[in-house]
Amino acid sequence: MGSYKCCLCFTRKFRWCEAEPPADVRAAFAAHAGEGRSYMAADQFRKFLADQGDGGDDAESVMEKGIQLGPRQHLRGKLAMPAFTLDDFHRYLSSVELNPPIRSQVHHDMAAPLSHYYIYTGHNSYLTGNQLSSDCSDVPIITALKNGVRVIELDMWPNATKDNIDILHGRTLTSPVELIKCLRSIKEHAFSASPYPVIITLEDHLTPDLQAKVAEMVVETFGDLLYYPDSECAKEFPSPESLKKRIIISTKPPKEYLAAKNDKEKNGNSQNLDDDEAWGKEVPDLQTVLDKVSAFAFARSPPNYKSIITIRAGKPKGEISEALKDDLDKVKRLSLSEQQLEKIAATHAADLIRFSHRNLLRIYPKGTRFNSSNYNPFVGWIHGAQMVAFNMQGYGRSLWLMHGFYKSNGGSGYVKKPDFLLTVGPNNEVFDPKASLPIKKTLKVKVYMGDGWRIDFKKTHFDSYSPPDFYTRVGIAGVPTDTMMKKTKIIEDNWTPVWNEEFIFHLTVPELALLRIEVHEYDMSEKDDFAGQTCLPVSELRLGIRAVPLFDRKGIQFNSVKLLMRFEFV
């Protein structure tokens, strides 16, 4: 359990003991400060940072901040430069702000087509709760955008008087919210968490006149933020970099447009004004767009609906092998339910992956998830699906995985797919999710200790009569062969548990692996109490000793609860 510096024992349930720095922390301090030395100077701390793989250019300022975490001032009175004592060093390592577990910058190549990225995607983004009777609102849309979600789904239906557009889950008891309110909130909050594009997927249940009204609302609301496609059917999607601070629309082409297009092809009419060739290939500015829309749109209302659609969507019809054929002349978005995905993946896994090289795959929850639960996102990810759509208003382990996955790449909402999901071999072969693969990396994880529950929780939250009995579960979520969970021993009656336990994970696909961490409080007579969780992308881990913040069931970070851990590849 470790030794203790002090012990405050008023009653048993209020006992709290501050644990000594773990042996590895003491050893690191001694190795860099010098054996027997009581402080670590800036140059020595800079060397420690370099050894951990961190830049040491701002070592002095980091030390100043670290020293301020403690109850004393630094040794400026005795030394010309700031210095760490062992306690200062331990507090620095335990600081989530100064010593986080993953990188926080965008570092992936953002210049590839959208189809090369996993995109943080919401499902029924307007619902505040369950799928059958909860209120529809712009509030969950705002929350999702603030959390970095990049794809917002809106289900559009005619309002009661058939003269405007409501957003609601159709044929349920959900109460509506007006489309215009959702659009305005998207505009205001679209780029609060990330500068990369927001995609609005529109589920369209409208008449042609209301579709035209949607187009008018979208253009007027978003103005210069709205991206217009260069042509009717793009051969390749634009890149996230080229779409920075832009909003793009994805939906099925309107039925009246498809009918007109078919008539034109039958009649050989090249003068049809409802044709992208009449627009030109580039849109220099909003005013030009509005002028051209006014000239060529439906006579009854500018602009026309199909002109704002960048990502054309559809669902599979007929043979799935036909739906998954890659058309070199155009790209599209295909939507599959989670059940359809599992069924198709069993027989057409390679076709799914080939299709996703250039086209977008969107996966959505099955209709029986009335309580807004979610599914295993890895089934979609390992088959190349870019838009694995989740009910962001729910909570549970599946959503924790989603939160963790999109901590990657600076929380930008866009994560570059691994190369093996973007390439074709010499015999047209692609990645096989079912293949037995060799171990590529071995991750060693050490759980030293935890702290912060005494601050964030009431003293009687876990047990009315004694301090909590904490244990930690550590494991991997990823491809099936990599997925596993392990657990530490239970530390009884301690608000600051010390485990000092090490775990080893052999990874065949580390590019998609998440490190899962959960803390629970053991309860002999009832279900163990939840005490915090997080998921960390293995590819983003900062090696060495790190402070790991924990989150509540809904994914909100606790103010103080954290673990001290060490990560290394061996």
Active site amino acids: 123, 169
Closest CA to 554 of 199, 194, 140, 58: 140
Inter-residue contact 391 to 372 (CB < 8 Å):
yes
DSSP-assigned letter for residue 384: T
Which pair of structure tokens corresponds to residue 545?
Answer: 């000793």
Which residues, at least 6 apart from 157, have a Cβ–Cβ distance to it below 8 Å?
A: 165, 166, 167, 168, 170, 176, 205, 206
Inter-residue contact 508 to 438 (CB < 8 Å):
yes
Q: Report how far residue 473's alpha carbon sits from residue 494's, in angstroms, rounded to the nearest whole number.
A: 17
Q: Is the omega angle on the peptide bond into residue 71 within 30 degrees of 0, that is, cis?
A: no
Q: Report how far residue 281's alpha carbon sits from residue 114's, in angstroms, rounded to the nearest whole number.
A: 20
Inter-residue contact 377 to 123 (CB < 8 Å):
no
Kindly report the backbone phi and psi dihedral angles of residue 46, in degrees, each rounded to the nearest multiple of 5, phi listed first: -60, -40
- Residue that has been written with the tokens 């335990």 in this structure: 94
Please give the C-alpha separations between residue 391 and each of 96, 174, 369, 500, in angstroms, as whole numbers.
Answer: 28, 15, 10, 37
HEC string of 113-146 equals: CHHHEEECEECCCCECCCCCCCEECCHHHHHHHH
Name the helix (H) or strand (E) containing 222: helix 208-222
Q: Report how far residue 555's alpha carbon sits from residue 570's, in angstroms, rounded to the nearest whole number.
A: 31
Name the helix (H) or strand (E) containing 362: strand 360-364
Kindly report the backbone phi and psi dihedral angles of residue 542, in degrees, each rounded to the nearest multiple of 5, phi listed first: -90, 120
- Residue that has been written with the tokens 């007027």 in this structure: 220
DSSP-assigned letter for residue 147: T
Q: Report how far residue 275's alpha carbon sits from residue 263's, in angstroms, rounded to the nearest whole number.
A: 12
Residue 272 Rama label (left phi>0; alpha psi -120 to 50; beta): beta
Inter-residue contact 342 to 379 (CB < 8 Å):
yes
